[in-house]
Amino acid sequence: MKRFKIILFAMFFLVVLQVHTKANSLDQRNKVALSRGPQLVSYATRFLGTRYRYSGQTPFGFDCSGFTSYVYRCFGYNIPHSSKEQYKIGVRVSKSQLLPGDLVFFNTNRKGISHVGIYIGNGKFIHASSGKGYVTITSLNDSYYLKRYVGAVRVFR
C-alpha cells in the first residue's frame, strides 16, 4: 500500500510539473510576442502589394505560406513553407487572445488548412492573397474569411 501511494504521488507530481511548464512556456511566448510581434508586423507591411506567385517565397512573389515563412525567417524563426505544417508548430491561441505576429489559419478548399496569414491587430491580418493577386490586409470579419477561420498559432518562443 505504501508503494502504491508513493507511485501515485510521483505521478501527480509529474502531471503538476508538466502543467506548470506549459503555463510558463505560454507566458514566455506571450512576453516575446508582445515585444517582437509589432516589429514583425511592421516588417511584413513592407511587402504590401507584392504579387502573388504560386510556391513563391521571395519578395519577387509570395504564396501565403511562402510569405509567412519568409517574414518569420527574417526574425530568426525557420518555419515550414506549408500552411498545414505551420499550423502544427507553436502554441494554439484562441481568437480572443490573438496578438500581432500570431499566425491565423483558414480552410479555403474544404480539405483542411489551406491558407495562412499574420495577425496585425485590430481584427486584421496580412497575407498573400491568390484571389487579389498580391499581399494585402484583410479583416478577420470579412465574410469569406470569417466562415473559413480555423485557428491561430503563436510561434514566438
CA dist., res. 69 & res. 44, Å (int):
11
Give yes or no: 81 in active site.
Answer: no
CA dist., res. 118 & res. 7, Å (int):
45
Q: For cell 498545414, what's the residue?
A: 84
Give yes or no: 127 in active site.
Answer: yes
Give yes or no: 64 in active site.
Answer: yes
CA dist., res. 45 & res. 23, Å (int):
31
CA dist., res. 33 & res. 106, Å (int):
21
- Catalytic center residues: 64, 115, 127
